[in-house]
Amino acid sequence: SSLTQVVHSAGRRFIVSPVPESRLRES
């Protein structure tokens, strides 16, 4: 989806996506 971004670093793949609201602690 457009919200997911894939970053490669030294052969490792990181998939970045928004944290679901439900998982964010109220700060």
Partner 1 sequence: AEDTGLRVELAEEDDCSNSSLALRLWVEDPKKLKGKHKDNEAIEFSFNLETDTPEEVAFEMVKSGFFHESDSKAVAKSIRDRVTLIKKTREKKPAGC
Residues at the interface with partner 1 (CB under 8 A): 7, 9-10, 12-19, 23-25, 27
Nearest approach, Cβ of residue 11 and partner 1 (Å): 9
- Say how far apart CA 15 and CA 4 lie, in whole Å: 7
Nearest approach, Cβ of residue 2 and partner 1 (Å): 14
Nearest approach, Cβ of residue 23 and partner 1 (Å): 7
**Nearer residue to partner 1 within complex by CB, 1 or 25:** 25
Per-residue CA distances from 22 to 10, 18, 19, 25, 27 (Å)? 32, 11, 8, 8, 13
